[in-house]
């Protein structure tokens, strides 16, 4: 089926409809499987597409790439089928537990309870916030009521049950290969540093983004520790980060799920990465491709390439 599909340029699910299998005309199916697997187990890799129907024919092709999620694909059709499975997997996760909001104690009440502000200060800050129709309560407490910014950050960290992260030694250029610029910008994330080669500290200004943190964890293979950074330190660092150099990225808006799959598969076939992965970040699908084998915990900015897709017309 994948052989046929590649010629016609269409992509059907392997399980649907009657199959016209090119390989079957050359070898009977039972022998084909046996011969194929023993050959592949020896000199050649096995195609990672469970529905691959090319049998031993793929041995005639000289392809060592592309690799998607640790598995080699023997043909463009197999790449597309594996991406289709991955896209479905990612889109099915939308709106699940990771997106749900947890109930949090309001910041003002938490600070009042701790004795860090008075009822009077809270009342005034809430009034000013209401009159202005903008701004966060924490900001009003700092600017109008003289509450220390450190206390507000500490209260936010209690609210989110996360640490307050320090900003010393932040090297924006060094951490750009970890999170695409679009996500740094849109979701207010600030990759801080990698510790011990396996832990990434990811800073936020006033609220965490567990969906992004999970996506970065799956993509980089690093454990992500999210935390808050004091606002006055966060903002300039975030600005510096946004003007740093990030890996190459392509943005794409596709009209439908099949269109996304086609675009992703085309890109993977064109780039021929030695590894590539797909994760979802909110309404975006993030495909990362490594053109060279990675040697350390930080990807080499020059050899990774991202494709970020959104699907319109849901
Ligand atoms: Zn295949």
Taking only the tens place, the pLDDT of each residue in 42-98 is 345 688 898 888 766 666 666 777 999 999 888 899 999 999 999 999 998 776 555
Query: Tokens 């009521």 sit at which residue?
Result: 145
73 CA distance to ligand 1 middle (Å): 5
Which string of b and e fits 199-215 if b means at least 16 CB within 10 Å?
ebbbbbbbebbbbbbbb
* Top mean-pLDDT range of 41-55, 96-110, 111-125: 111-125
> How far is 35 from 13, CA to CA, in rounded Å?
25
DSSP SS3 for 166? coil
Distance of CA 48 from the midpoint of ligand 1 (Å): 7
pLDDT of residue 211: 94
How many angstroms is it from 197 CA to the middle of ligand 1?
A: 35
**pLDDT given at position 46:** 81
pLDDT tens, residue by residue, 199-213: 999 999 999 999 999
Cα 230 to ligand 1 centroid, rounded to whole Å: 51
pTM listed for this prediction: 0.79
The residue-averaged pLDDT of 305-309 equals: 97
Whether the predicted pLDDT of 255 surpasses 60: yes
What is the pLDDT of the chain when averaged over all its residues?
Answer: 83
For 127, other C-beta atoms within 10 Å of its C-beta total 12
What three-state secondary structure class fits 306?
strand
pLDDT at residue 288, rounded to an integer: 97
Q: What pLDDT is attached to residue 184?
A: 97
**CB distance 293 to 234 below 8 Å:** no
Tokens of 294: 């990675």
- The CA 251 to ligand 1 mean position distance, Å, reads 28
- What spacing in Å lies between the alpha carbon of 81 and ligand 1's midpoint? 9
Does the pLDDT value for residue 20 go beyond 60? no
Both tokens assigned to 293:
């084998």
Q: How far apart are CA 204 and CA 238, in angstroms?
A: 9
Residue 294 has pLDDT above 90, yes or no: no
State the distance from the centre of ligand 1 to the C-alpha of 294, rounded, in angstroms.
25
């Amino acid at each position: 089926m994948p052989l046929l599909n590649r010629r016609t340029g269409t992509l059907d699910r392997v399980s649907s409809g009657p199959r016209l299998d090119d390989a079957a005309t050359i070898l009977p199916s039972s022998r084909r499987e046996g011969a194929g697997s023993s050959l592949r187990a020896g000199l050649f890799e096995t195609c990672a597409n469970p529905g691959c129907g090319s049998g031993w024919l793929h041995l005639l092709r000289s392809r060592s790439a592309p690799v998607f999620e640790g598995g080699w694909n023997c043909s463009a059709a197999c790449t597309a089928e594996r991406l289709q499975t991955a896209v479905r997997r990612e889109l099915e996760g939308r709106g699940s537990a990771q997106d749900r909001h947890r109930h949090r104690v309001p910041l003002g009440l938490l600070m009042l309870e701790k004795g860090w502000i008075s009822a009077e200060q809270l009342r005034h800050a809430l009034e000013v916030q209401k009159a202005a129709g903008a701004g966060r309560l924490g900001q009003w407490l700092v600017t109008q009521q003289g509450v220390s910014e450190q206390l507000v950050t500490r209260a936010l960290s209690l609210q989110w049950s996360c640490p307050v992260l320090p900003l010393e030694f932040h090297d924006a250029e060094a951490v750009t290969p970890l999170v695409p610029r679009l996500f740094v910008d849109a979701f207010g994330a600030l990759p801080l540093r990698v510790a011990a080669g396996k832990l990434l500290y990811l800073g936020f200004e006033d609220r965490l983004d567990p969906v992004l943190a999970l996506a970065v964890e799956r993509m980089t293979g690093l454990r992500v520790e999210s935390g808050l950074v004091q606002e006055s330190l966060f903002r300039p660092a975030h600005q510096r980060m946004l003007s740093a150099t990030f890996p190459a990225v392509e943005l794409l808006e596709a009209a439908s799920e099949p269109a996304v799959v086609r675009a992703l598969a085309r890109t993977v076939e064109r780039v021929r990465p030695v590894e590539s992965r797909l994760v979802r970040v909110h309404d975006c699908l993030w495909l990362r491709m490594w053109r060279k084998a990675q040697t350390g915990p930080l990807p080499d900015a020059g050899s990774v390439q991202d494709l970020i897709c959104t699907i319109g017309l849901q």
